Amino acid sequence: MTVPPPGGGPLTVRPADDQWPNPPGLPAPVLSSQRWLDAVFLHWRIDVSVAARFMPAGVRPDVFDGSSWVGLIGFRMEHAGLGRGPGIPYLGSFNEVNVRLYSRAPDGTRGVVFLSLDANRLPVVMATRAVGIPYVWSKIRRWPAFPLGVGGLQKTWSAAGTTVSDGGAAPVGYSVRRFGGTGAGSDFTVVPRLGAAAADPLSVFLTARFGMHGRFFGRTAFIPNTHSPWPLFEADVHTLADGLVESAGITAEGPPESVLYSPGVQTRFGKPRLLGSRRPG
């Protein structure tokens, strides 16, 4: 499907803070600080029974409008570092595309469950797979390849949030090709609807996620993170040819029901906790 880019104009977009849950505090110590840029979110509705097959022990699918949801998300990782320190040169900046589901623990903690995470840094893939995070080594291109932002979008970072000024939007997205014999890949781009801030309940449900549930050394654990609300745009699919969702074991039918773009956020990760453990503090 091809959608022509919308006309542009002066624009400032900030997070819709009144629609968001309060970002949780992050118990010490901070394990990593990083920036996520040029995030593209594509989501499809799926049966709860399908999502339940992939949940770690003790975690159930989180549900919106009677359905579970599977997401294909691409973004640019920048300046990932240890603790609150500076980003690690080369290894701390890379493109990532993940397939994820949405989870809820018995205590009400909401998170995501990753079915796959493609990245183009082999040492990162090897280190994360060693602790049970399902990273895959892939060649990933971001479109546009070099400018920071969408076409003429200029982004300014401050403590108050992200300010975006529009000089005319062009498609933004990612192209993935996995190394090895699987042949799985994905190509997807979207055109943001500049000026159309996404603050509806579904968009908040899919993006206000502050941690991941996963299996680590035979136990279910939660890795917390925190960040300010995503500054979100509604978007239209420009190109989509995906094999990653199906490769993860899920059939997503038809076009995505939710299509979003964000210029990004700064985030921090905290110490993992085992499911059933009491929260620090």
| CATH number of the domain residue 124 falls in | 2.40.400.10
- pLDDT of 84 reads 67
177 inside domain? no
The residue to which tokens 């493609």 are assigned: 118
Percentage above 70 pLDDT, the chain: 74
5 inside domain? no
Dihedral of the alpha carbons of 274, 91, 177, 256, in degrees to the nearest 10: 50
Task: Render pLDDT for 47-58 as a digit per residue (tens, 0 to 9).
Answer: 999 999 999 999
Percentage above 90 pLDDT, the chain: 50
In the predicted model, is pLDDT for residue 277 greater than 60? no
Task: Render pLDDT for 1-17 as a digit per residue (tens, 0 to 9).
Answer: 223 333 333 333 344 44
- Would you give the end-to-end CA distance of the chain in angstroms? 50
281 inside domain? no
Q: How far is CA 6 from the centre of its chain?
A: 24
Three-state SS sequence of the chain: CCCCCCCCCCCCCCCCHHHCCCCCCCCCCEEEEEEEEEEEEEEEEECHHHHHCCCCCCCEECCECCEEEEEEEEEEEEEEEECCCCCCCCCCCEEEEEEEEEEECCCCCEEEEEEEEEECCHHHHHHHHHCCCCEEEEEEEEECCCCCCCCCCEEEEECCEEEEECCCCCCEEEEEEECCCCCCEEEEEEEEEEEEECCCHHHHHHHCCCEEEEEECCEEEEEEEEECCCCCEEEEEEEEEECHHHHCCCCCCCCCCEEEEEEEEEEEEECCEECCCCCCC
252 inside domain? yes
**pTM beyond cutoff 0.85:** no
In the predicted model, is pLDDT for residue 41 greater than 60? yes
67 inside domain? yes
Domain region containing 81 = 29-137+197-236+245-269
Compute the mean pLDDT over every residue in the chain, rounded to the nearest whole number.
Answer: 80
251 inside domain? yes
Structural domain total, the chain: 1
78 inside domain? yes
20 inside domain? no
Say if residues 261 and 36 touch (Cβ distance below 8 Å). no
In the predicted model, is pLDDT for residue 136 greater than 90? no
